[in-house]
Amino acid sequence: MQKECLFFLIGLFKKVYVADSFAKWANNGFSIVESGKILNFFESWATSLSYTFQLYFDFSGYCDMAIGLGLLFGIMLPINFNSPYKALNIADFWRRWHITLGRFLRDYLYIPLGGNRLGKWLTLRNLFVVAFLSGIWHGAGFGFIIWGSLHGAAMVIHRVYSGFVEQ
């Protein structure tokens, strides 16, 4: 019972104390922009980083609470985050962030598209398609389409660069 409660309490702490604290900073910055004012350099970085950490601690906290509750009922849920901000590149980040979604997209989209077995160009296409559709999965708005496209481009650039470095 200790492990279950510990997972839940860590998740609750991440959500209520850490994520919600970052949310205050992020929301303040967003409110300034929505009012038509421009953020200075420091405010822009503080808002961006606050939102980045708020998003991580919010989602990670909920996942930890779910794992703790699952353990209380004898259900072992998978870990969904593995220190994504320690990643050294975009591919490593996506292996660590929202692991269950990444596995789903790999198993039901990337591999059926051919994965990396059909040559370099199709591998690059598959990486882009998966990241692009991941963006749409997060939300059907224009911002998420751009977000998915940018992550797809980053994955492709990383794969191409990694290929040059290995040679």
| Active centre residues (catalytic) | 138
How distant, in Å, are the alpha carbons of 60, 61, 80, 140, 165 from that of 20?
13, 11, 20, 25, 41
Q: What angle do CA 49, 87, 50 make, to 5 degrees?
A: 10
Instruction: For residues 56 and 151, give the distance between their C-alpha atoms in angstroms, rounded to a whole number.
Output: 17
Instruction: For residues 116 and 74, give the distance between their C-alpha atoms in angstroms, rounded to a whole number.
Output: 37
**Length of the chain, in residues:** 167
Q: Radius of gyration of the chain from Cα atoms?
A: 19
Start-to-end Cα distance in the chain: 52
Choose among 159, 31, 37: nearest CA to 90: 159
C-alpha torsion 139→140→146→149, nearest 10: 90
